[in-house]
Amino acid sequence: MAQRPAGYRGQGFSLRGEKDRFVLPPLFRKVFAELGDEGVLCVAKHHTYPCLTAFGPSRTETFEDILDKEEENAVRRDIDFDRDLRSTQMWTFTEVPFDKSGRFILPPRFCKVGGIGENICFLGGGQFLTMWDLDRLGEMGGGWEDQYELCLAEAEDARAKSAAKAKRS
């Protein structure tokens, strides 16, 4: 039986922590490890949604295939396709290191373009994951309601843990 390729699945949540760090949830760190991309998060502005997208460096090996498919689909549907623009969108990412605990610092410019405030909701998307500010995800509507509710529950858990930790300190 052929091994199924690793994919980003599920959801997770992180509050902005001390030293301005976020934490990549263990579920996603596992996929990075499976892909051989441990320790590097490639972060870009999502080309359609008001969020960020992230993936491991190994995904860049498929960029030309993705571009070919997107171009073929555009031709088949008789719509314009600017390959140079789409390629630039795909390759405009920054490699952000994360440690074994998943801690990383998101560059301020990405917080700005991705609308990230004091939290990140991570949503698996197969070959990539999306990173949302919880409030922005809540404003999406149009089919995103379930993902928002899942992340809202994760946020409540994270805030309760943070409050309990602060109480112990």
Task: State pTM to two decimals.
Answer: 0.87
**Residues 135-148: pLDDT tens digits?**
999 999 999 999 99
Helix or strand or coil: residue 53? strand
- Partner residues linked to 166 by β-bridges: none
* Structural domains in the chain, sorted by start: 11-168 (3.40.1550.20)
Radius of gyration over alpha carbons of the chain, in Å? 17
Q: 168 falls in which pLDDT band (50, 70, 90)?
A: confident
Q: Identify the helix (H) or strand (E) that includes residue 22.
A: strand 22-23
Strand order in the sheet with 11-15: 11-15, 119-124, 129-132, 52-55, 40-45, 94-97
Residue-wise pLDDT for 59-118, tens only, equals: 999 999 999 999 999 999 999 999 999 999 889 999 999 999 999 999 999 999 999 999
